[in-house]
Every structure is written in structure tokens, then in C-alpha cells.
Structure 1
Amino acid sequence: MTIDRRTLLRASLGGATAGVLGVTTPAFASDRPRRRTVFVAGDSTAATYATADVPRAGWGQALPAFLHREIAVVNAALSGASSKSFADLGRLDLILDAIRPGDTLLISFGHNDEKVEDPARGTEPWSTFQEYLSRYLDGARAARAHPVLVTPVERRRFTADGVPYLSHGEYPAAMRTLALRTRTPLIDLTALSFTLWGELGPEATKDYFLWLDAGASPNYPAGVADNTHFQAHGAIEVARLVVRAGQTIPGRDRRALRADIPDDVLTWPATRPAES
């Protein structure tokens, strides 16, 4: 089943990415009804990228393709961020200043929390990681919004025999435990993506991650072999996993979730909005 281009454009424009970091959209205009909004707090795997980064994309950038037009998306995911650094830089405060009752906050960290050698970003899974994540949960609930924890998407990791293996240590388990303890909805993106990568195998996953031959893209003239970040196709399919599993995400477009979504449905702004 292939979804027609007009429907795709409606989905993309209707759920257009808004911003809390210097970007304004009709979702926040005072002269019209405010749409319910899905905010994303996360790292580079979820971030929105710019034209200079094409075809690199994050799953938060692709979320609008799977949401109905009445839902806005504010993708505040920041490259290099951990649960700690995102909050310490004031990015969480920006979200909490903008979020409103009935909105949703997707919270996905882990990749950079694992960098325990970096005091600005590293956290310990069973202590500081959970403590920082709790700030997001408490802040969203204080605003009468709905937090959702999203375990970190898995990297492309295979043994020499082509068997996938997990790379996030105890961070996903710590997030699952926090979700149970606080009765917070959880999207286990670690497990979902690990299963998908295993089904696809080492070669096919290169079409999802940022693997490009030399000369294939003017933005990566020497080529690139990135096992953490996605190109458009991967970002779209990871966003599909998130929305399909996210039963509490508002405006889920079930038709789009069943459809083949072409890579060119994504758009890239002139600058990375979370870094502008």
C-alpha cells in the first residue's frame, strides 16, 4: 500500500515541526485555536537536521508523517545531549515554559548518558539517569501534560557472524524500571529497533543508517559509515516504531502507519532548529 503524495503533504504540513528555540509556528499563534502538541526531548538520533545535513535525519523529524494534521510537533531534540546536559543547558525549561495541558512530551535519552567520562553529560543508570529523567516527568505532570518515556534506539551493531547485539548497557532497563515505578507510559524503542535491525541484517540496515558511498551525496563527498544516526528512510521507519507503539500519542494516523512512506516526504530546514 502506497500513500498518495497529496496525503503525505497534508500529514507533513499538518503536523509541521514547531519550535521552542527561536522558531514560531501557527501552533503557537495567539489569534487561532492552539493545536495539541507533541514535544520531543532527546539527542541526535531524534533531532531535526538542516539542508547541509541531507540525507541525515532524526526520528523526531519524521514524526509528523504519522500524525494527523491537527497535531503539531515541537522537536527540541539536541545533538550530543544527555538527560543531564539537556536539562542543565535549560532546554527542559524551554519545553516546560511552552508545554500546555493535554500536550505530550516524548523523553528519549541514553546514548550520551553512557559517556560517563564526560562530567557534563554522563549519568549512572540506576541513580542520576533516573533522577534527571524524573525532572522531565515531574515538570510535564505539573503542567498537566502527558510524559512518555522512550528507551534509546539501538545502534547498528553486528558480530562478524551477522548477529545483532545490544549496546546501551543498563540504561534501557533503568528507564523501564522508572516507568513502572512512576506509572509512566513507555515506548521500548531499544527492543523494537533491535528486533528490526536483526530482521534486516547487516547489509539492509545500511539503507536505514547514514551509510553512503563516496560521491553519493554532495554533503558527504567522501562517503560516510555511521552506525548511530539515520538517513531519511531509517528516520521514517524508527518514527513508525515510536508512533505505532505509542498508544497515548495523540492524533496517530493509522492509515499512514500501514503505508509505505517515501523518503522525500521529509523536509530539511535551512538551519538545525534546536541549535538556532
Structure 2
Amino acid sequence: MTIDRRGVLRAAAAGILGIPAASRATAHRKTTVYVAGDSTAATYATADVPRAGWGQALPVFLRREIAVVNAALSGASSKSFVDLGRLDLILAAIRPGDTLLVSFGHNDEKSEDPARYTEPWSTFQDHLRLHLDGARAAGAHPILVTPVERRRFTAAGVPYLSHGEYPDAMRALAEETRTPLIDLTALSFALWGELGPEATKGYFLWLDAGVSPNYPTGVADNTHFQAHGAIEVARLVVSAGCAIPGRDVRALRDPAIPDTVLSWPATRPAES
């Protein structure tokens, strides 16, 4: 008996990445968008509601014939995502014609943590290249996505940037490698500045005590999103991502996408 080792590896990777069994058999007939990223993009569970990541909301703005596999992992940097074998899982499952969105930076900045820290103009770019080269070797199409901006305002209500040189390093790499780039840093920074300090609380995970049973004492998180914010950041990504397949123009033009379009699985797929 001949064993299809590639097929076995692909099936195992698909299971770990959370691709539903019903869709694995038809995966060759569906173009898939994969997401490699961190907690700002990750898919969250029912115990986390209303926390959500922009990768979780991507399907809202894509046509139904496009599948999304959100492999974004909370706490991941470009380095740790590779070291933990998460990129290998994607490359085992990804197929020619698929797309890989690559978005890191938040945790690459943590110089106190050698397992995650990268330097913007050397090791950060080196680890991003592994994602780009791996996708291209598989016949897939990589797209770099600069890190979404945090909610940062001065006392005067003026927004300020928080990612240092990491977005510039990614922009330079995109130009060098001729990789499509979605400048989510610039897009989100402009949106937060337009909204201002108070309105942005409705996008980020800011909840008063008693509003959510999952956060009984309230929460004030300036990095992660609640459902509305995840949806609007996903809108920014897909609107700017001309190379993303199957963009749903009607949804992108709808200014009133309700939070209820999102669903939360029983467990975090990237961590289970």
C-alpha cells in the first residue's frame, strides 16, 4: 500500500488548525485565506465574548466560496510562531492559489522575552521572510499586514504611534520582496484619530463592570478588540487588500454590520 505522506501531514495540520472535517475533503475546490498573526487577529471562544480578533471577522467581508483559516495565536511573535511550529502547520495545509496574511509586531517588540523578541531590521524581517518564502514555495500568495495600532492618546486627546520601527521594517521588506502590503498601522491610526479617545472605547475591549458576565468587574484593554472593533479592523484589511480573493464589495460598503454576525467557538481554535 502506498502512503500519501503529504496527504496525511496535510490532514493532521488541518485538524490542528481547526479546519472543520466537512470542509477538508472539499478544500481543493475552495480558495482559502490563512492568517498568521497574534492576539489582535486571533479567534476567541465563548468564554471571551465579546472579545474578538480581526481574523475572526474576515469572513464577514469575503464571499462564501472563500474559506478562512485563522491560525493567529495569542502571544505570538514572528519568531515564536515559527519556533512553535505554527508556520509549519500552515505550510502543510496551504495549497496553490491560497493566500497567507502575515501580521506580527506586537510581541516582537518585547525585548524582555528572548523567546519572542526580534529586532526590526534584522531578525523580524528574517522571520517574516520564512512566511513569505514558505507560502510562495507552496504556490500560495503572501500578503504582509503591518500591526494594527493600539489605542494610545495623549492627555490632549492626540493619538500617537506605538510600534516603533517595526511597521517601517515590514514596509521595506514588502518593497524588497515585491510582496503586497496592507498598511494596517496607518489605516487604524487614522481611524482611531478620527474617532477620538471616547469613541474608540467602543472598538477596543472596554467594558464597565456588570456589562458582560465574562468580565464581571469590567475591563479596559487598549490593545484587543470587542466585536465591533474586530469587524471594523477586518473591514480595513479587506478594503485595502486588493490581492485578497473573493472580497464582498456589498459588505464592505455596508456601514452597519451588526456584532451578531460573529460567532465564537467553544474553545480558542489556535490554542486547543
Q: Same fold (TM over 0.5)?
A: yes
Contact persistence 1:164–1:197 (CA under 8 A)? yes
Instruction: In structure 2, give the amino acid aligned to 1:60.
Output: G
| Correspondence for 2:257 | 261
**Change in 2 beyond 3 A, CA 1:19/1:57:** farther
- Alignment of structure 1 residues 1-276 onto 2, 5 Å: 21=16, 23-25=18-20, 26-29=22-25, 34-259=29-254, 260-276=256-272
Q: CA RMSD in A?
A: 1.2
Contact persistence 2:38–2:76 (CA under 8 A)? yes
Shift of 1:28: 1.8
Return the TM-score normalized by structure 2. 0.93
CA-to-partner distance for each residue in 1:52-76, whole Å, 9 max, x for gaps?
A: 0000000000000000000000000
Return the TM-score normalized by structure 1. 0.92
Alpha-carbon distance between aligned partners in 1 of 2:86 and 2:15, rounded to the nearest angstrom: 9
Shift of 1:210: 0.1
Shift of 1:27: 3.3
| Correspondence for 1:15 | none
Instruction: In structure 1, give the amino acid aligned to 2:55.
Output: G
Alpha-carbon distance between aligned partners in 2 of 1:33 and 1:166, rounded to the nearest angstrom: 41
Shift of 1:116: 1.4
| Correspondence for 1:3 | none
**Change in 2 beyond 3 A, CA 1:19/1:160:** farther
| Correspondence for 2:9 | none
Alpha-carbon distance between aligned partners in 2 of 1:212 and 1:199, rounded to the nearest angstrom: 21
CA-to-partner distance for each residue in 1:172-221, whole Å, 9 max, x for gaps?
A: 00000000000000000000000000000000000000000000000000
Alpha-carbon distance between aligned partners in 2 of 1:202 and 1:134, rounded to the nearest angstrom: 36
Contact persistence 1:27–1:34 (CA under 8 A)? no
Structure 2's unaligned 5+ residue stretches are 1-12
Alpha-carbon distance between aligned partners in 2 of 1:40 and 1:221, rounded to the nearest angstrom: 31
Alpha-carbon distance between aligned partners in 2 of 1:62 and 1:216, rounded to the nearest angstrom: 22
Instruction: In structure 2, give the amino acid aligned to 1:29.
Output: A
4+ residue stretches of structure 1 with deviation over 2 A? 22-27
